[in-house]
Chains A and B, each alone.
Chain A
């Protein structure tokens, strides 16, 4: 699952966007595109030094001005649910997967934690980027430390 797909999955969720200039925008993601342009609703903008605030009903941010986005922790779980849903259509997640796939070699690998990492969007001149990879733990139970600071 590519970073931009994760962002797409975060539609409807609240998030914080920090721009390169240090301003931050808090709001709910309405939509985003492949350039990381994003459309937020119910926005609070905070100045770089954090002492001035502006409210606005919505805003549109050009992707190339973004430094990073902070999204709710649940979104990565949602991504995994959706990938397992599409990959093993009717199989309920975590059931009936134990057999026969174990230690086979070959780059197909298991979908480590459901985070695919293809680079299927063309442009693959450099070769070798983002193929399956060993490691990654089994199903659930990711390490702790999920609280909000």
Chain B
């Protein structure tokens, strides 16, 4: 296999065909990172340049600039190539400031926590 041509890079499952492209990286903790893939290895450890985190809460979103990232492969769920011709997000979505998205994120978190604690308190009712 050592004499293989360039096309093989694109036929294999390697990340080589994604190098120097703008990608979406999904992490196991649910985070969505955008950035340019500059390097990777056999564990899918990856170097993302100009990385930013895309935070989405409902129809609001914000890209928070982060910089140069080295991601440990284990935490990667998916690496997707963004089609630059297509809209990255549905038209209904609204870009907001970092402060605003953090507020929305906290509100959402508090709501889930509340739901969890309500459920706990109601457990004696033997729901579902």
Give residues in A with beta carbon < 8 Å to B: 1-4, 6-7, 20, 22, 36, 63-64, 66-73, 75-76, 105, 107, 109, 112-113, 115, 117, 119, 121, 123, 126-137, 142-143, 145-149
Residues of A within 8 A of B16 (CB): 117, 129-131, 133
Residues of A within 8 A of B65 (CB): 145, 147-149
Residues of A within 8 A of B40 (CB): 2-3, 117, 130
Across the A-B interface, the 7 shortest Cβ-Cβ residue pairs: A128-B12, A149-B65, A127-B1, A129-B14, A3-B45, A69-B70, A68-B71
CA A133 – CA B19 in complex, angstroms? Answer: 8
Residues of B within 8 A of A107 (CB): 4-6
Residues of A within 8 A of B69 (CB): 68-71
Q: What's the minimum C-beta distance from A21 to chain B, rounded to whole angstroms?
A: 10
Chain B contact residues: helix, strand, loop or mixed: mixed
Contacts A70-B69, A145-B65 given; does A131 touch B4 at CB 8 Å: yes
29 contacts between A and B (CB under 8 A): A1-B39, A20-B75, A36-B72, A63-B72, A66-B72, A67-B27, A67-B71, A67-B72, A68-B70, A70-B66, A71-B67, A72-B67, A72-B68, A76-B47, A105-B6, A113-B20, A117-B16, A121-B41, A127-B1, A130-B14, A130-B40, A131-B9, A133-B6, A133-B17, A133-B20, A145-B65, A149-B65, A149-B66, A149-B98
Q: Which residue of B lies closest to A80 (CB)?
A: B38
Give residues in B with beta carbon < 8 Å to A: 1, 4-6, 8-9, 11-14, 16-17, 19-20, 27, 29, 36, 38-42, 45-47, 49-50, 52, 64-72, 74-75, 98
Residues of A within 8 A of B8 (CB): 128, 131
- Whether A128 and B1, one on each chain, are in contact in the complex, defined by CB atoms closer than 8 angstroms, is yes
CA A130 – CA B75 in complex, angstroms? Answer: 21
CB < 8 Å neighbour of B19 from A4, A70, A105, A136: A136
Q: What's the minimum C-beta distance from A110 to chain B, rounded to whole angstroms?
A: 13
Q: Which residue of A lies closest to B67 (CB)?
A: A73
- Whether B70 and A128, one on each chain, are in contact in the complex, defined by CB atoms closer than 8 angstroms, is no
Contacts A68-B75, A107-B4, A131-B4 given; does A76 touch B38 at CB 8 Å: yes
Q: Which residue of B lies closest to A10 (CB)?
A: B70
A6-B39, A129-B12 are known; give 15 further A-B pairs, CB within 8 A.
A2-B40, A6-B47, A36-B72, A71-B67, A73-B49, A107-B5, A107-B6, A128-B11, A129-B16, A131-B4, A135-B19, A136-B20, A142-B49, A146-B67, A148-B67
Residues of A within 8 A of B39 (CB): 1-3, 6, 115, 117
